[in-house]
Amino acid sequence: MTAARPRFVVCEDGTEYLDRFSRFLGDDFAFIAAGDFEAARTLAADADGVLLDLDFRRTPPDRLVDERGPVSGAPDPERRRRLAETQGILILRQLRAAGVALPAVLFADLEDDQRRFLEQTLAPLAIGSSHLGIREIGALLRGALARR
């Protein structure tokens, strides 16, 4: 009998992370797709961790969240752009507010002060740069699970 692979919800507006991680890390981890906050919240119940992209430009406006929750009405273009560019952070904030305490990894290139602030306020959180190779990403996921 083998142990089940740890399951990560991959929250992104496409399938780039899901495809890459499944292909190269699928022997060690299981990945399930979530295109928005609602899907991520639902799937988190059966997961060991959450992986989030930062930018959700392809997400329809009615599936975006802001600092208070789901966006009501159609946001103006500037607000839509701002929400899309930080959607991964906003989704994680809403997950934490909903009681989801799973380890999370946010893939974003951030300044050190931004990184520290987010890691403190949205813990347990690790932030992975876009420069990470697949082995480094695997180590990041293992580290996130160790912080459970």
Number of helices (H) and strands (E) in the chain: give both, helices first: 6, 7
1 has a pLDDT exceeding 70: no
Domains (range + CATH), the chain: 7-124 (3.40.50.2300)
- Reported as a pLDDT band with limits 50, 70 and 90, residue 147 is confident
73 has a pLDDT exceeding 90: no
Reading the block at residue 27, the tokens are 């022997």
> Rounded distance, CA 145 to CA 48, Å?
7
Angstrom distances, CA of residue 101 to CA of 13, 82, 126, 129 = 22, 26, 13, 22
Mean pLDDT of the chain: 95
CA-based nearest residue to 98, from 146, 134, 65, 62? 65
> What global pTM score does this model have?
0.95
Question: 117-121, 129-133, 138-142: which range is least confident on average?
Answer: 129-133
Sign of torsion, CA 83 89 91 95?
negative
